[in-house]
């Protein structure tokens, strides 16, 4: 992966991108604050959600087996995928078995994470994104830059130009209603002819085998009810114990994400039912690095995330660089801790540094993830993996000097003798950059200890 620092440069140079991000994140942030203020027990809900997630993470194997059993009892099939390649193979095989060469998709970060669309294309299967923002990204051959609003880096004029090029329309204004209508006409035919639907999952309820998807446009409802076959790819951390626990999350998620009291469309399905919805339901449970995250005592709290994107909307770094700089489907503060844990700190070691550690992300997180703590934890891992550096060796040498009074006084004497030599106003060699904005302290003519000894000897 390109380092965050390298990738961020293009975003920082794009004034239009920064204006788009500033307007969108400020609007969402302000609306969220008002929606959260309506609930006097908001902090209690956050604590309850964090406790429910921690309970699941402590007994994840038990809850996943319970979920599998309940789904199977209700006529569904469960598949286990260790990594992206296995998940993609499972989904492709299921689609090919139906004879379909096209699927309609609910917006899903999990399927983006594993590159499902590209994997299906290799088998001659077209995946049609049906969420408006996800469709914009797909039509523009672009990549997502926000968890909730993938096309947040685009304004209305840019979207209009894209639709004129790709949707076969000749006249179109940049009014939201007109843009939405153009997308609706394009998608309607695909909904009606679809034989297979693919979705992610916001939650899976272990006690009942129920799967939940929340969305704002209704396209997800079309994907999960019209096709004969429904395939859901769910990260193993998305399971919750009971429907009562789901109730807590359904209060937190809409307020934190879209600043609404409830999601306009909350779809729940349990297995299959004759004459109602898909005839086949397949649930693919995806690991893809999640058990590695679970093994980290500090980092595992990252798996509480419910993908609300509240942390992105308050992050000063994200607001200036945009989501593309993170090089991952998970941008912003949550991406800075989730991606390195999923793919390995050796592949994404720059992301934990994509933060000022201001703590705003932790303040708004609806499941109380201490993102700054995990960032510092991952920075320590990245630094340890780097091996000896000039800075570390220098600090070790100084620590050795400071640990002994005799060695420290010897260092002071050497420094006094050499202070008049040219070229010593700045640090030498690899330490030059560190000292570029730091002035070396003035070395006194006499140390306190030397003065004390002299005065006492009189």
Task: Give the 3-state secondary structure of 91-137.
Answer: HHHHHHHHCCCEEEECCCHHHHHCCHHHHHHHCCCEEEECCHHHHHH
- Tokens (6 digits) for 11: 């975003």
Confidence bin at 245 (pLDDT 50/70/90): very high
pLDDT at 367 over 70: yes
Lowest mean pLDDT among 9-18, 402-411, 425-434, 435-444: 425-434
Residue 420 has pLDDT above 80, yes or no: no
pLDDT score recorded for residue 415: 79
CA separation for the pair 426, 435 (Å, rounded)? 7
Q: For residue 279, what is the DSSP state?
A: S
Q: Which CATH class is domain 42-288?
A: alpha beta
What distance in Å separates the CA atoms of residue 290 and residue 295, rounded to the nearest whole number? 9
- How do residues 206-230 score in pLDDT, each as one tens digit? 999 999 999 989 999 999 999 999 9
- Residue 277: count other Cβ atoms within 10 Å of its Cβ: 18
The rounded percent of the chain whose pLDDT value lies above 70 is 95
pLDDT at 439 over 90: no
Predicted pLDDT of residue 265: 94
Mean pLDDT score, 160-179? 92
Inform me whether the pLDDT recorded for 141 exceeds 80. yes
What is the reported pLDDT for 166? Answer: 94
- Which residues have a Cβ under 8 Å from the Cβ of 120 and sit 6 or more positions away? 88, 91, 92, 95, 103, 126, 127
How many angstroms separate the CA atoms of 146 and 354, rounded? Answer: 15
Task: List the chain domain ranges.
Answer: 42-288, 390-456
Using alpha carbons, select from 358, 348, 352 the residue that is nearest to residue 316: 358
pLDDT at res. 44 = 97
Please give the torsion angle defined by the CA atoms of residues 83, 281, 215 and 135, in that order, rounded to the nearest 10 degrees: 70
Which range in 16-20, 153-157, 248-252 is most confidently predicted, on average pLDDT? Answer: 248-252
pTM, whole model, 2 decimals? 0.85
Note the pLDDT tens digit of each residue in 382-405: 988 887 777 677 788 888 988 998
Q: Closest Cα partner for 367 from 412, 411, 450, 302?
A: 302
From CA 362, how far away is CA 370, in angstroms rounded?
5
Maximum alpha-carbon separation in the chain: 105
* pLDDT tens-place string over residues 315-342: 999 999 999 999 999 999 999 999 999 9
Tell me, what's the pLDDT at 434? 65
């Amino acid at each position: 992966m390109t380092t965050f620092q390298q990738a961020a440069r293009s975003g920082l140079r794009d004034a239009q991108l920064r204006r788009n991000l500033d307007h969108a994140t400020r609007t969402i942030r302000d609306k969220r604050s008002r929606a959260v203020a309506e609930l006097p027990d908001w902090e209690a809900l956050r604590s309850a959600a964090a406790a429910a997630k921690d309970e699941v993470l402590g007994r994840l194997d038990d809850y996943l087996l319970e979920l599998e059993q309940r789904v199977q009892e209700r006529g569904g099939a469960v598949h286990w995928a260790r990594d992206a390649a296995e998940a993609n193979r499972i989904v492709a095989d299921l689609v090919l078995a139906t004879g379909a060469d096209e699927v309609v998709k609910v917006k899903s970060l999990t399927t983006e994470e594993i590159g499902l669309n590209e994997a299906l294309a290799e088998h001659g299967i077209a995946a049609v994104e049906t969420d408006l923002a996800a469709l914009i990204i797909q039509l523009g051959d672009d990549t997502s830059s926000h968890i909730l609003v993938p096309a947040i880096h685009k304004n209305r004029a840019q979207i209009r130009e894209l639709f004129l090029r790709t949707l076969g329309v000749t006249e179109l204004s940049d009014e939201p209603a007109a843009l939405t209508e153009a997308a609706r006409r394009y998608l309607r035919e695909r909904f009606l002819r679809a034989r297979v639907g693919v979705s992610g999952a916001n939650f899976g309820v272990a006690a009942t085998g129920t799967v939940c998807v929340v969305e704002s446009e209704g396209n997800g409802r079309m994907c999960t009810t019209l096709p004969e076959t429904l395939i859901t790819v769910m990260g193993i951390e998305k399971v919750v114990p009971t429907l009562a626990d789901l109730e807590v999350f359904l209060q937190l998620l809409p307020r934190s994400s879209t600043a609404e009291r409830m999601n306009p469309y909350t779809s729940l399905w349990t297995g299959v039912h004759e004459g109602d919805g898909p005839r086949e339901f397949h649930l693919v449970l995806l690991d893809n690095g999640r058990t590695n995250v679970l093994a980290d005592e500090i980092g595992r709290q990252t798996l509480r995330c419910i993908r609300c994107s509240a942390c992105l909307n308050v992050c000063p770094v994200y607001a200036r660089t945009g989501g593309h700089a993170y090089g991952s489907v998970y941008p912003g503060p949550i991406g800075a801790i989730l991606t390195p844990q999923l793919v390995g700190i050796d592949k994404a070691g720059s992301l934990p540094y994509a933060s000022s550690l201001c703590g705003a992300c932790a303040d708004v997180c609806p499941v109380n993830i201490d993102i700054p703590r995990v960032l510092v934890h991952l920075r320590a891992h990245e630094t340890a993996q780097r091996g000896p550096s000039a800075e570390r060796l220098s600090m070790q040498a100084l620590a050795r000097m400071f640990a002994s009074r005799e060695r420290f006084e010897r260092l002071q004497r050497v420094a006094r003798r050499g202070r008049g030599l040219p070229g010593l106003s700045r640090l030498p060699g690899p330490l030059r950059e560190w000292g570029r904005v730091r002035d070396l302290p003035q070395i006194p003519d006499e140390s306190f200890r030397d003065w004390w000894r002299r005065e006492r000897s009189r």
